[in-house]
Amino acid sequence: MLREVAATRYIAPLRSGGSVPGVVEADDLGTYVVKFTGSAQGRKALVAEIIVGELARALGLRFPELVLVHFDPAVGGHEPHQEVQDLLRSSAGLNLGMDYLPGAKDFTPEIARTFPVDPLEAGKVIWLDALTVNVDRTVHSSNLMIWPTFGTAPPRLWLIDHGAALVFHHRWDASAPEKAYDFRRHALGGYSPDVRAADAALAPLVTEELLRSVLDEVPDGWLREEPGFTTPDEVREAYVGYLHARVRASAAWLPTDFPTREELAAEDAHRAAKTQEGRPDWLKRVPDLHGKPAAEQDWSVHLG
What letter represents residue 264's amino acid? Answer: L
Are residues 34 and 80 both part of a single domain?
A: yes
CB 57 within 8 A of CB 205: no
CB atoms within 10 A of CB 15: 11
Are residues 249 and 270 both part of a single domain?
A: no
Question: Which of 99, 124, 142 is the last residue in one of the domains?
Answer: 99
6 Cβ contact list (under 8 Å, min separation 6) = 26, 27, 69, 70, 71, 72
Domains of the chain: total: 3
CB 83 within 8 A of CB 30: no
pLDDT given for residue 16 in this prediction: 72
C-alpha distances in angstroms, 163 versus 17, 166, 179, 261? 11, 8, 20, 26
Are residues 54 and 24 both part of a single domain?
A: yes
Range of the domain at 242: 105-253
pLDDT given for residue 68 in this prediction: 98
Q: Could you tell me if residue 301 is inside a domain?
A: no
Q: Could you tell me if residue 240 is inside a domain?
A: yes
- The dihedrals phi and psi of 11, each to the nearest 5 degrees, come to -90, -55
Are residues 11 and 38 both part of a single domain?
A: yes
Are residues 231 and 127 both part of a single domain?
A: yes
Q: Give the CA angle between residues 102, 222, 25 to the nearest 5°.
A: 25
Return per-residue pLDDT of the chain as tens, 304 residues: 899 999 999 999 998 767 899 999 999 999 999 999 999 989 999 999 999 999 999 999 999 999 999 999 999 999 999 999 999 999 999 999 999 999 999 999 999 999 999 999 999 999 999 999 999 999 989 999 999 877 788 899 999 999 999 999 999 988 899 999 999 999 999 999 999 999 999 999 999 999 999 999 999 999 998 999 999 999 999 999 999 999 999 999 999 999 887 888 888 788 878 777 767 776 666 555 544 444 443 323 222 3
pLDDT tens digits, 206-251: 999 999 999 999 999 999 989 999 999 999 999 999 999 999 999 9
pLDDT given for residue 210 in this prediction: 98
- Ramachandran region of residue 133, left (φ > 0), alpha (ψ -120 to 50) or beta? left
Question: Which of 46, 76, 99 is the last residue in one of the domains?
Answer: 99
C-alpha distances in angstroms, 144 versus 18, 51, 53, 241, 293? 16, 17, 12, 28, 16
Coil, helix or strand at residue 273: helix
Are residues 171 and 80 both part of a single domain?
A: no
Please name every residue paired with 210 in a beta bridge, in sequence order, or none if there are none.
none
What letter represents residue 97's amino acid? Answer: G
Q: What Rg value do the Cα atoms of the chain yield, rounded? A: 21
Are residues 222 and 266 both part of a single domain?
A: no
Q: Could you tell me if residue 303 is inside a domain?
A: no
Are residues 266 and 199 both part of a single domain?
A: no
Q: Is 261 exposed, middle or buried (0-12, 13-18, 19+ CB in 10 A)?
A: middle
Are residues 87 and 24 both part of a single domain?
A: yes
pLDDT given for residue 71 in this prediction: 98
Are residues 204 and 233 both part of a single domain?
A: yes
CA distance 284 to 178: 42
C-alpha distances in angstroms, 183 versus 127, 135, 169, 180, 301? 10, 7, 20, 9, 32
65 Cβ contact list (under 8 Å, min separation 6) = 3, 98, 99
- The dihedrals phi and psi of 86, each to the nearest 5 degrees, come to -60, -40
Q: Could you tell me if residue 215 is inside a domain?
A: yes
Question: Which of 99, 127, 148 is the last residue in one of the domains?
Answer: 99
CA distance 68 to 160: 16
User: CA 130 from chain center: how many Å?
Assistant: 12
Q: Could you tell me if residue 304 is inside a domain?
A: no
Q: Could you tell me if residue 227 is inside a domain?
A: yes
Which has the closest alpha carbon to 214: 43, 51, 62? 51
